[in-house]
Structure 1
């Protein structure tokens, strides 16, 4: 069951992975993008979740303003949460992939992040954490 849904994103809790799962279906920017990430982080806090799976295959490019917001505003809050393991399924678009690369590599002191080219490997990695 979805915790949050928009045209761009579905946020779910996956008990088998003990993870918040972000399924991006389309391009999102501004308030839509930020609200989705905040909803996911709220679920991390609610569930005391250590794992995060972001499936970005269909996401699209992240705007420079949203990348800056993610790095300056969202990352500090995420890295101060129970979150410890972030599995990222990379976007299919080369341009979109470049737009999220910097955001994914910036991780907190207690957080491990890995990028995967398919969802099965990302889920397997989280199960082993």
Structure 2
């Protein structure tokens, strides 16, 4: 069931995985990008989620200003939360992959992250 929906992202709670699932449907930047991530983090806090799955296949390249905001503002909050595992399904675009890899490389002390080519492998990793 959707916790939050917009024209660019759907945020869901997956009870069996104890995971917040972010399904990006289109390119997002600025307020739409940030609002989606903030809504996901609110759900993490509400549920005490340990797992996060972000399907970025349709997100596109994250603009520099949003990448910087993610690293400087969102990541510190996320890494202080209950999250332990962050699975990312990588974008189809090679250029977009590079921006995602930079964001995923920065993880918190108590957080493990991995990039996947498909959702099935990401779900399996979170199940384990």
TM-score (norm 1): 0.98
Cα offsets for 1:58-100 (capped at 9, x unmatched): 1111000000000000000000000010000000111111111
Looking at structure 1, the residues matched to 81 and 99 of structure 2 have their Cα atoms a distance apart, in angstroms, of 24
1:16 pairs with 2:19: no
Tell me, what secondary structure is at the counterpart of 1:86?
A: strand
* Aligned position for 1:111: 111
CA distance in 2 between counterparts of 1:42 and 1:51 reads: 13
Counterparts of 1:105 and 1:122 in 2: how far apart (Å)?
A: 17
> 1:110 & 1:93 partners in 2: Cα distance?
29
Distance 1:43 1:10 in 2: 12
CA distance in 2, matches of 1:100, 1:122: 15
Q: TM-score by structure 2 length?
A: 0.99
Residues 39-71 of structure 1: per-residue CA shift (max 9 Å, x gap): 000000000000000001111110000000000
Structure 1: give runs of 5+ residues left out of the alignment.
Answer: none
1:10 CA drift (Å): 0.3
1:72 partnered with 2:72:
yes
Q: How many residue pairs are counted as aligned between the two chains?
A: 128
Aligned alpha-carbon RMSD (Å): 0.5
